Amino acid sequence: MALKFTDEEIQLFKIGKTPEHYTWHHHQDTGRMQLVDYQTHHDTGHTGGYKIWGKDSDK
């Protein structure tokens, strides 16, 4: 997996930061997060997992 990221991005992960071109997506499975491409996430209309399982859901 590390081959997918630059050395700079790996250093950001190590200090708890998210690289600029990525964002965290709430997966439909309760509590699961996925690191995804920011632009793809932004351009894709979807119901994120938080809407399904978060505090305002019917669960």
Q: Give residue 58's pLDDT band: very low, low, confident or very high (50, 70, 90).
A: low
Q: Kindly tell me if the per-residue pLDDT of 59 is higher than 60.
A: no
The Cα–Cα gap between 55 and 14 comes to 29
Q: What pLDDT is attached to residue 56?
A: 66
Closest by CA to 26, choosing from 45, 51, 59, 1, is 51
Can you give the residue ranges of every domain in the chain? 19-59
Residue 28 carries which side chain, given as an amino acid letter?
Q
Q: How far apart are CA 13 and CA 20, in angstroms?
A: 11
pLDDT in tens, 2-47: 578 999 999 999 999 999 999 998 887 888 889 999 999 889 877 7
| Both structure tokens of 27 | 């997966």
